[in-house]
Amino acid sequence: MQNVQEVVRTLLKNGAKRIDNIVVKGVTVARKENYDRLSLSLAKPVRGFVQEDGTYTEGETRVIFVSTFSVGAILGDNEDTAFAKRKLLARPKLLELVLSYAKIDIIQEEVKANEEYKNPFATDPEPWIPDHDTIINHVINIELGRRGLRQLDKLEDRMFNDAYDDGNGNVTSNEEEL
């Protein structure tokens, strides 16, 4: 897989559109067949396809769907969040807390109906063929809000304590190790 910057450059070169500084009001996680999908409620609308009477038409939406693959790639590239990437992706419901009121930048990639699509952020992407024109949203930057930063601090403390757990729930300290 390419690194995040290479994926972003390729997407932009191929016509994807970038939107910066979108506030995430809420997050919901949904388990799909081979990935976890995040539903992000946004403070301001973005371009998207909305369903009306069983058909999809282009319009504006305040809810976008993103894969945890792109979010994980961004978290792993950030010095302040890289330590938590594996834990957050293993338990994606934690992202509902961490991403609340984050500011994100996204790239919107248009995909035509009946065209094979592969997620460029996935290490081994499964092809998907949409039955209608759609816009795929990729998170390319995350600036956590106060709540997200507090949650990561708690996770970091827990990970640190777990590293010294003796297996019986007792935290041991060995000054020689420190």
The tens-digit pLDDT sequence of the chain (178 residues) is: 567 889 899 999 999 999 999 999 999 999 988 788 999 999 999 999 888 887 888 899 999 999 888 798 889 888 989 999 999 999 999 999 999 999 999 999 999 999 999 888 777 778 889 998 999 999 999 999 999 999 999 999 988 888 887 767 676 665 555 5
Among 26, 3, 35, 25, CA closest to 136: 35
Residue carrying structure tokens 């792993």: 76
Residue carrying structure tokens 């293993």: 90
Identity (one letter) of the amino acid at 65?
A: F
Other beta carbons within 10 angstroms of residue 158's beta carbon come to: 11
Domain tally, the chain: 1
Domain span including residue 11: 4-163
Is 178 part of a structural domain of the chain?
no
Is 177 part of a structural domain of the chain?
no
C-alpha span between 45 and 152 (Å, rounded): 28
Is 172 part of a structural domain of the chain?
no
pTM, two decimal places: 0.83
What pLDDT score does 33 carry?
Answer: 80
| 104's tokens | 């994100």
Is 125 part of a structural domain of the chain?
yes
| 132's tokens | 């209608």
Is 176 part of a structural domain of the chain?
no
What pLDDT score does 173 carry?
Answer: 62
| Backbone dihedral region for residue 33 (phi beyond 0: left; psi -120 to 50: alpha; all else: beta) | alpha
What pLDDT score does 174 carry?
Answer: 57
Is 175 part of a structural domain of the chain?
no
Q: What is the DSSP annotation of 25-37?
A: EEEEEEE-SSSEE
Is 173 part of a structural domain of the chain?
no
C-alpha span between 83 and 47 (Å, rounded): 33
What pLDDT score does 175 carry?
Answer: 53
Is 140 part of a structural domain of the chain?
yes
